[in-house]
């Protein structure tokens, strides 16, 4: 009798082990066919537009204007023409420089700021944390005119030209990226054990040494998340880049906007080149996500479980 009961308990435990079929059946919220249908529908919402953009980029302008989904003739000429007609090379170079600098500097400053806000007690600490949340709720459209007036007046009062420069756009993006990046790092650092820092201090490490040797290596998922979101802020922005840049300093998003506006009113717009340029501009972001995907999962879920 005892052997039979033990065998039953062992069988039940094995059936509910992590990854077992029975466990998935118990924890599944939706029936299998319904779940598969929802996943197929969601994937179709994403993949069908992307497939259409790619097929239109290898199609002729007349074919796209006639509503062809599958092109009658495949050609990669549009991918060669965009570098001269759209001016995409300059735009991509400016976007990589500005967005990359914003991501690196924002991630570096946010981890230092978050470390101070999480590990030290001082007057105004809670006010600073609440201010980070408040700054994220301010729409960027409300800040376009004040930022433009402030930067344009610097040429008169300080003799420093900010409008039309890459570093002026970098400062603008850094101002909006810092609150979100800092809050991400605050959430992440709250989940790191203090015992590691105390052990490092016992060994004689300074505050900077603890930050560089202990906190920084353990915070890569959060740093990657804050850096990627800061990068996307500079890469996708059109509003600030359109009013604060010149033709030689405009980003890829502005180059696409200018090219699309120039095609309005024409006989047959250059649909193929517009689609090809859109895919080329989206490729760096997709590659970035694929490279840092494992860090993104850990960084976005940090602080969710205590």
Predicted pLDDT of residue 46? 87
The number of domains in the chain is 2
pLDDT digits (tens, 9 = 90+) for 263-300: 766 667 788 888 899 899 988 888 888 888 777 665 55
Flag whether 209 is in a domain. Answer: yes
Identify which has the larger pLDDT, 211 or 27: 211
Per-residue confidence band for 304, with pLDDT thresholds at 50, 70 and 90: very low
On the 0-12 / 13-18 / 19+ scale of CB atoms within 10 A, 67 is exposed
Quick one: 127 and 266 in the same domain?
yes
Q: What is the mean pLDDT of residues 207-233?
A: 87
pLDDT digits (tens, 9 = 90+) for 63-95: 888 878 888 788 888 888 888 877 788 889 999
CATH value at residue 288: 1.10.3720.10
Q: Where are the beta strands (DSSP E) in the chain?
A: none
Quick one: 40 and 168 in the same domain?
no
Flag whether 215 is in a domain. Answer: yes
Quick one: 132 and 230 in the same domain?
yes
pLDDT digits (tens, 9 = 90+) for 8-53: 445 544 544 544 444 444 456 778 788 888 989 999 998 999 999 9
Quick one: 49 and 180 in the same domain?
no
In whole angstroms, what is the distance from residue 235 CA to residue 241 CA? Answer: 10
Owning domain of residue 65:
16-79
* Among the listed residues 50, 107, 95, the one whose alpha carbon sits nearest the alpha carbon of residue 227: 107
In whole angstroms, what is the distance from residue 24 CA to residue 222 CA? Answer: 30
Quick one: 87 and 72 in the same domain?
no
Quick one: 180 and 210 in the same domain?
yes
């Amino acid at each position: 009798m005892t052997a039979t009961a033990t065998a039953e308990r062992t069988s039940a435990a094995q059936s509910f082990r992590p990854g077992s079929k029975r466990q998935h059946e118990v924890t599944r919220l939706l029936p299998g066919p319904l779940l598969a249908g929802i996943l197929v529908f969601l994937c179709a919402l994403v993949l069908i537009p992307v497939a259409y953009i790619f097929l239109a980029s290898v199609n002729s302008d007349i074919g796209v204007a006639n509503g062809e989904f599958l092109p009658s003739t495949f050609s990669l000429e549009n991918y060669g023409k965009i570098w001269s007609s759209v001016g995409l090379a300059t735009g991509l170079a400016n976007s990589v420089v500005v967005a990359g600098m914003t991501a690196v500097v924002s991630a570096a400053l946010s981890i230092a700021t978050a470390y101070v806000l999480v590990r030290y007690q001082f007057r105004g600490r809670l006010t600073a944390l609440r201010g980070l949340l408040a700054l994220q709720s301010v729409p960027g459209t409300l800040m376009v005119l004040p930022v433009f007036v402030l930067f344009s007046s610097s040429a008169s009062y300080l003799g420093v030209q900010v409008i039309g420069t890459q570093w002026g756009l970098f400062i603008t993006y850094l101002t909006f990226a810092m609150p979100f990046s800092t809050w991400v790092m605050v959430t992440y650092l709250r989940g790191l054990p203090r015992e590691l820092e105390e052990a490092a201090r016992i060994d004689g490490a300074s505050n900077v040494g603890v930050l560089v040797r202990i906190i920084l290596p353990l915070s890569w998922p959060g740093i990657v998340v804050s850096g990627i979101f800061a990068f996307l802020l500079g890469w996708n922005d059109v509003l600030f880049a359109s009013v604060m840049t010149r033709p030689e300093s405009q980003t890829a998003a502005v180059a696409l906007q200018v090219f699309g506006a120039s095609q309005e009113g024409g006989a047959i717009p250059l649909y193929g080149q517009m689609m090809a340029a859109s895919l080329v501009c989206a490729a760096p972001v997709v590659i970035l996500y694929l490279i840092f995907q494992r860090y993104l999962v850990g960084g976005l879920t940090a602080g969710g479980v205590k």
